[in-house]
Amino acid sequence: MRIILFFLFFGATLNSSAQGNDATFALTKGDQIEDLMIRYNELGKFNGSILIVSKGELVYENTLGFANFESREPLDTEMPFYLASLAKQFTAMGIMMLVEEHKISYDDKLSRFFPTIPSIYKNITVHQLLTHTSGVKDYFRLGILNPGLRNVDVYKALFDVKKLDFEPGFKFRYSNSGYVLLALIIQTASGEFYENFIKARIFEPLGMSHSFVYTERNIVPIAVRGYTSKLKPNDYSLYTYGDGGVFSTASDLLKWHYALQNNMLISSESLLEAYTPVELRDGQKWRYGYGWEIGDNLYGKLVFHSGGLAGYRTYIERQLGSSNVIILLTNTSNQHILEIRNKLVKILDERPFTMPEN
């Protein structure tokens, strides 16, 4: 499943007893992260790419392990990983761009873009798709998952659904189908295939030269193979996009972060909407905006997202108040990302942490 993890712990660096009490021997944040990640790699608990920014400054970037365990080909920083649900932030950006260009609005209903779609969907809005409050069933629960699955297959499968999960706007339920529909809306409103739109409007202007969207029209060789936790091949095999489909590197995602930080693609007002928790019709709020989960720490708001499918597990966190960034891309079904993330936050916040044990 493309998944999201609701991280409830926003923590923070190295125990002084672990490095002695003499300040002259204090390790830098980069040194501490290096020791931590090498230890995780030695324990077989991290194989992938990591990039860390502290207070706006890049303090650590590295790749550890193998892109292919059969050939023993090592990873390098230019090898793109499948991002899984991290792709949703690019789809959301595409929608926000089109809204700023007055080609669509957040209140537009699906009937505008899909005139023949069944009546249960017609009054769902773009805003509800973005915030997972539409009630559209996640296609991972429709029994249609097969290698080569396409967006058109998801769209057709939705025609056979007789009932929404709930009345739009009343609940939050994560739906990859919603973001497949958003990708199709981008194509309809822009007149371009999704992969071309994202490339021309985001990847190329930002210099994200190692990023691409994998579709049936754009089949690109995959350098980083996915594996189960027992290192058996578990390769990505879908052609769906909007909810996923994007491959990228940690350094490209850093360019993405700086573009968002500096309002290079859309206005700060639009980004504020993306980082605002959705309000349900009963007045409750859910900490999800437009392609981002939303949290906070001692320094203010942070936005983040995780992803997982086949052998890939990914995570990005942008701490808006402190300008800290955490990017983790893995290809061995990593079950330790939350644990690693929490230790990295402690390093960034200069609080004690413990090294992982065997």
Q: What is the DSSP string of 144-185?
A: ---TT--HHHHHHHHTT--S-SS-TTS-----HHHHHHHHHH
**pLDDT by 10-residue block (mean), the chain, 358 residues:** 39 34 66 98 97 97 98 97 98 98 98 97 98 98 97 98 98 98 98 98 98 97 96 96 98 98 97 97 97 94 97 98 97 97 97 92
Backbone angles phi, psi at 226, to 5 degrees: -90, 145
Contact 3, 307 (CB under 8 A): yes
Local structure of 275: helix, strand or coil: coil
CA angle 339, 344, 350 (to 5 degrees): 130
Q: Write the pLDDT tens digit of every residue in 50-95.
A: 999 999 999 999 999 999 999 999 999 999 999 999 999 999 999 9
Quote the pLDDT of residue 26. Answer: 74
- Bridge-partner residues for 158, per DSSP? none
Output the six-digit token pair for 34: 């290096």
Local structure of 18: helix, strand or coil: helix
Pairing of strands 324-330, 312-319: antiparallel
Residue where the block lists tokens 């931590």: 36
Quote the pLDDT of residue 10. Answer: 37
Q: Write the pLDDT tens digit of every residue in 181-196.
A: 999 999 999 999 999 9
For residues 168 and 125, give the distance between their C-alpha atoms in angstroms, rounded to a whole number: 8
